[in-house]
A and B are shown apart, each in its own frame.
Chain A
Amino acid sequence: MKTWSLSWGGLTTVAALELRQRVRSSRWLAALIVWFLVIGGITLLVINAAQTWKITPSQPYCAAGACHLPDNVSTVCQISAAGPAVCAPADAAGSTAGEETTCSVQPDGSVLCSILSDFRPPLSCSVAADGTAACSYDEVDGWRPTIGPLVFSLVVLFVLGLGLLVTPALTATSINGDRHAGTLATLQATRLSAAEIALGKLLAAWATLFAFLAAALPWLATGVVIGGLPILGVLVCVGVLLLELAVVCALGLGWSALINRTSGSSLLTYASVVTLSFLTLIALVLALPLVSTPTQVQVWRLPKDVQAQWEQEMSNWWEANDEALANGETTVSPQPVAPVSQCHWETVTETLTHTERIWQLTVLNPFAIVADAAPEPPVARSHPNLYAGYSGDILFSVRHGIAELAAGPNLESDLCPYSDGAIGPTGLPEASPIVVSPSEPAVIWPWGLAVSLAIGGLFFWIAVRRLRIPYGALPKGTRVA
């Protein structure tokens, strides 16, 4: 069919025509400079804020005889000038759970402490003989907390967010606008096919977005370099971002071919973007009650009577020792130990929210798709909790959230009252019978991208159909020329 024939010459004719007009007629240079400054300004403000307020990825600091984590609450080293320096991690409550400290005296007389934690990046603190101390994070799987992932995340989100705002303006009036200006029909009457006109316009709009991406590139690169992010992953993420914006270009093109009035097609294009970006999230939230259903859950617990008996024993023990504990006495009678060997599986009916049935709504969301395609350093797989807490990687948090939605609620839980409290690598007590398979979180972006491209393809197809000549039935209110 001639409508769909494509030639390089035809495509470049239309694309060059569109780009030349855009360069001549709008203040594109000013727009690019403003864009560069806005993204840069935000990046610098974030870096500054992170340093001022000791937001997660900044370094621990030592002052006034103690070393602190940037959260301003946890103290990792108390330095005593009198005796040899000792590092002992402590949070505000004085608890040292889950942390392990080893200190050694170095040949020069200083003390080097290494502090390991499941929830913090490992720290090295050294205390010199004169009592001055310094702390820094150690690498985990080649990663140490920096501001890089935060900067990268923010720039990607801003380029995507502002791109979603800018893109409709590039194509949403391109077909009906040309029709009103009387320039479309003369072009259609030439040798150019409908597909060449539509694709040429699409490519020209897309090329304009490349210019906006290029203006944001220095800031994006800042994040990549500081964070040491894997280049391949960065390219995939940026590629997915550009394809998502290309889909928006196609949406605008389709609406501008369908709707005769330019204001109508602009409105519908923006409405489409809002639908994909926000209404999918609102729909997800509103659908939550629909998937909250009574579900049979397996619980590992003591038989009811044994549990009640043990609780009574505990209550008696607290009553007997309450005063002694309050006075700080350490010589109290041992706590009663629960008969955990009697723990067994029980089937209980609970109302659970089955997000695994509706998480697919996120697959339509461009932010979710781009976040899912974001580069992932190895540490994000090996120590996900650590990375989530200390990287400032917003894209990772989004992906993590989607993975949890997709996984749905746990159908097994462990309520057995273990006394030793040792926590296994999965976050469950070591003695728990629940086996968490270390499955890789699902990668959703190829699916999301495929759905997006299908929608974009549909709208592109509509645009081509509406440009096909000779026109049969004309939509109401449309003139050929």
Chain B
Amino acid sequence: MTLPASLEPAPERLAAGPPDAEAGGRTGVVGVRAVGVKRAFGPVKAVDGVTFDAPQGAVTALIGPNGSGKTTLLLILAGLLRQDSGTVEVSGFDTVSQNVEARTRVGWMPDAFGAWDALTPTEILSTFGQAYGLPKARRRARAAELLERLHLAEFATAPARVLSRGQKQRLGLARALVHEPEVLLLDEPASGLDPRSRIELRDILRDLAQAGATVLVSSHVLTELEEVCDTAVFLSRGRTIAPDRTAAAATTTRGWRIRALDPASLRAFLDAADIPWQAGSAASDGEVIVDMASPESASQLLRAAVAANVTVHTIAPVSGQLEETYLALNEERR
């Protein structure tokens, strides 16, 4: 399977075998396929050329900075918004011409989940079960099951207004799962979750993918996505980044974080030595990131810096591959 605009799945996950057709989507169909999707709001081109496939049985990360069109793209995939051009298929159904078929196969979790504050989580879930046409007994069982799974059972009969932000976020996930969707679209699902809930979210997403579902997660918390995603789609200014560019970005020299007690002298040193650098993600600490081919280069740089009286206290490789790719792609912004 070719995966344009996405990274190759990690080898150990490929070893898990093809997705179980019975548990999730149908065989022979790509979970989500977007081709040349564009959508403008007046003069603003929110989505301006998105092409990617999200395979069944895998977690696909949708990565991009704020305003890159992630939320708009998810609205189009959920069948709520019509693209100006291009086509979107969800589980093999066109989101425009087969809107109902497509959207009933999708579980969409928006970034801001509005709950009906007066209703209990059980009522909210069974209302959505009813809205998806589940029979009464089934939706009751499903509500109980999901509340248990997402550790909300103790709030099952309390009004939703007493839930904390993280608990509401979990309820939002349960809501998106109530009809056992073949395709799950999650918009920033981890925001507001505590570390333990994030780990549980990761496990849930992995389990769903294992069972054959197509999971598409948008986030800018990159380290967290790295642990869960099989492939990634990068969005920048409403466009998917061309696959050769992401591939190139992923295989370039590694970035190293360098921090010094006096960031100004570090930057002056680098500039004087004509070494290219960019501000790191913790730029307020004066962190810089320098691309280096090998640990030997790093060691050399460190020695030279110390010799030049730069008070370096930290030098370490940039941790995640996603973050590196992300930064490599965002270089053009500056």
Residues of A near any B CB (own CB < 8 A): 2, 9-10, 12-14, 16-17, 20-21, 24-25, 178, 181-183, 185-193, 469-472, 474, 480-481
Contacts and interface: CB of A to CB of B under 8 A. Distances in A.
B159 A24 contact: yes
Interface stretch (B4-12, B100-108, B148-156): B100-108
Q: Secondary structure of the A side of the interface?
A: helix
Contacts of A186: 108, 110, 113-114, 128, 175
Contacts of A190: 103-104, 128, 131-132, 179
Nearest to B127: A17
Contacts of A182: 110, 112-114
Contacts of B132: 190-191
Contact of B131 (A13, A24, A181): A13
Nearest to A7: B133
Contact of A183 (B80, B114, B159, B179): B114
A20 to B, nearest CB: 6
Q: Secondary structure of the B side of the interface?
A: loop
A192 B81 CA distance: 16
A113 B41 CA distance: 87
A20 B118 contact: yes
Contacts of A480: 75, 80-81
A250 to B, nearest CB: 22
B287 to A, nearest CB: 36
A25 B161 CA distance: 11
- Size category of the binding interface on chain B: 35 or more
B81 to A, nearest CB: 5
A481 to B, nearest CB: 5
Contacts of A24: 118-119, 159
Contacts of A474: 41
B190 interface: no
A403 to B, nearest CB: 49
A9 B133 contact: yes
11 contacts: A2-B100, A10-B131, A20-B123, A21-B119, A182-B110, A186-B113, A189-B79, A190-B128, A470-B99, A472-B82, A480-B81
Contacts of A193: 100
A14 B130 CA distance: 9
Contacts of B123: 20
Nearest to A16: B127
A181 B160 CA distance: 13
A185 B80 contact: yes
B82 A470 contact: yes
Nearest to A472: B82
Contacts of B82: 470-472
Contacts of A471: 80-82
B117 interface: yes
B95 interface: yes
A187 B131 contact: yes
Contacts of A481: 75, 80, 110, 112
B328 interface: no
B96 interface: yes
B126 to A, nearest CB: 10
Contact of A191 (B75, B96, B100, B114): B100
The 5 residue pairs across chains A and B that have the minimum distance between CB atoms: A182-B114, A24-B118, A190-B131, A470-B82, A183-B114
Contact of B103 (A12, A178, A189): A189
Contacts of B159: 24
B208 to A, nearest CB: 18
Nearest to A478: B41
Contacts of B179: 190
A12 B127 CA distance: 10
Nearest to A2: B100
B78 interface: yes
A302 B100 CA distance: 82
Interface in B146-184: 159, 175, 179
B113 A470 contact: no
B116 A17 contact: yes
B225 interface: no
Contacts of A9: 130, 133
A2 B99 contact: yes
B23 interface: no
Contacts of B75: 185, 480-481
B99 A469 contact: yes
A183 B114 CA distance: 5
A470 B118 contact: no
